[in-house]
Amino acid sequence: MANEKHEVNRLELTGVKQCCDYFAQCIKPAGSGRIGLEYEIILMDTLLNKQISYWGLNGLREVFLELMKAGYQAVVENGLIIGLARGDVKVSLEPGGQLEFSGAPVFRGIDIFEELSDFLSLLQSICSRFNISILCVGCNPSEAAEQIEIIPRLRYEVIMPLLVEESALSVNQTITASMQISLDYFSEVHAGNCLALGIRVQPFVVALCANSPMVRGMLTGWKSSRSAMWRNFSSSRSGIPHFMLGQQFSEDTFGAYTRWALEKEILYVVRNGVVIKMPGVRFSDYLRSGYDGMRANVDDWILHLSSVYPEARLKNVVELRSADTCSTDYAAALGVFWKGLFYSDVASDHASKLVRFVDASTVDQLYLDAAKYGLAAVTSDHYQFVDILKELVEVSRYGLLNLECEKNEISLLDVFSVAIKERRSPADYFDSQCN
């Protein structure tokens, strides 16, 4: 789940089968599915109109110290507070200092809403005293990525230069923010179906949650500038893996995803708390021959799976990664939307039929059109995104009913229905503050 506890596992990997077995070991019992939320926000100095840095009187460290007074425990690295934890809730930092809230894995979408609302209320009470504003948007609307200072965290000091070598556009990681939903899988076939459905549905989610039309103080012409930036990020490490759209993918999900991930270069490994660069080494080579006296272990594999960035990602859960950060009600609605589609077999089958036209020849353009036009986008066959979304939301609503969810959870989808009816994404009401 979004912050599911990870037990240290230094067991040496001896072959590809063990990499596949990791996914098999993460299968959950049918009917036990939970929802996880990772929710990124940007904190701005209201006096300077700048993204706040780690240091300084009004910096992230001071914000963390205030949160600790409310019961959060510090996560320390090299003597610096780089995150917080309170029970199953985690708060961490992205490369540019964006704050990431990782909620506890929950069964009900209403719990996502309440937990996130409580955190943002607490954070707002702190930020107001420091002249800091909270931006629940997909991209810093006023600053260039090159102006943002990388936070003093070992992993980012290592991986950001490596990612910039792969793609200069990776520097945009310092100004973007997204909300990601994680869900459990009940079998290899279920995992494959979820990944394929996630890839096919997410262009419409990009349009629905588009919330980053402004960069460097100017409208960019894109409803989701964040998504457009990611479309141009290193295709070797991110993007849309077309193999997930193959007819036989669900029958060999773990094997296919393993083979894909094995051919990606490793960014780094950790040994005794030390971050070690792995320049130009594919995981398949590392698995076969080792590197500098080190042998691949399960922890290395888990870390590697977190350093590839496809739109739908397989780890110990399935992650859906395409939505700009929006308001709290959108975040809860997004979790409920995916819950209805993934955990009800009837809804999942119906949704798959609705988007079966999304294939390797159309999917990339659909993501681009969603980022460009938002809810005004149309498919190459002249179907309007809003019409497809209307059906998908209703299918999810039926799935939630099928799962016997409570009315107050199902009603969380209403904010999506209103946006679809009005044909306006958050970008069309653009406001730099949380709603």
What is the CATH class of 16-421? alpha beta
Element holding 61 (H helix, E strand): helix 60-68
* CB count in 10 Å sphere of residue 158: 17
Answer whether residue 79 shows pLDDT above 50. yes
> Predicted confidence band at 159 (pLDDT cuts at 50, 70, 90)?
confident
Tell me what pLDDT residue 2 has.
Answer: 45
The residues facing 68 across adjacent strands are none
* Dmax (CA) of the chain: 60
Instruction: Taking residues 161-174, report their average pLDDT.
Output: 64
For residue 32, count CB atoms less than 10 angstroms from its CB and return exposed for 0-12, middle for 13-18, buried for 19 or more: exposed
pLDDT at position 47 is: 92
Q: How far apart are CA 12 and CA 300, in angstroms?
A: 9
pLDDT digits (tens, 9 = 90+) for 93-128: 999 999 999 999 999 999 999 999 999 999 999 999
Q: Output phi, psi for 372, to 5 deg.
A: -75, -50
Distance separating alpha carbons of residues 181 and 128, to the nearest angstrom: 29
| pLDDT-derived band at 261, boundaries 50, 70, 90 | very high
Question: Can you give the pLDDT at residue 167?
Answer: 52
pLDDT value, residue 146: 83
- pLDDT for residue 332: 98
pTM metric for this prediction = 0.94
Residue 166: what pLDDT?
A: 59
Sole residue written with tokens 């079966």: 356
The pairs formed by 261-267 with CB atoms below 8 angstroms and a separation of 24 or more are: 261/19, 261/304, 261/305, 261/308, 262/16, 262/19, 262/287, 264/236, 264/237, 264/304, 264/308, 265/236, 265/237, 266/300, 266/304, 266/307, 267/158, 267/159, 267/162, 267/163, 267/304, 267/307
d(CA 25, CA 19): 10
Query: Which residue reads 């000091």 in tokens?
Result: 157
| Residue from 286, 420, 201 nearest 15 by CA | 286
Measured CA to CA, the distance from residue 399 to residue 12 in angstroms comes to 42
pLDDT tens for 49-63 read: 999 999 988 999 999
Taking a C-beta distance cutoff of 8 angstroms, is the pair 271, 291 a contact?
A: no
Which residue shows structure tokens 């490793």? 266
Residue positions counted in the chain = 435
- Residue 3 confidence (pLDDT) above 50: no
pLDDT class of 140 with cuts at 50, 70, 90: very high
pLDDT band at 234 (very low <50, low <70, confident <90, very high): low
Nearest to 326 by CA among 424, 228, 232: 424
Residue of 58 and 159 predicted with greater confidence: 58
Instruction: Specify the pLDDT at position 158.
Output: 75
Q: How many CA atoms lie within 13 A of 258 on its CB side?
A: 18
d(CA 209, CA 371): 10
Q: What is the pLDDT of residues 299-358, one digit of tens each?
A: 999 999 999 999 999 999 999 999 999 999 999 999 999 999 999 999 999 999 999 999
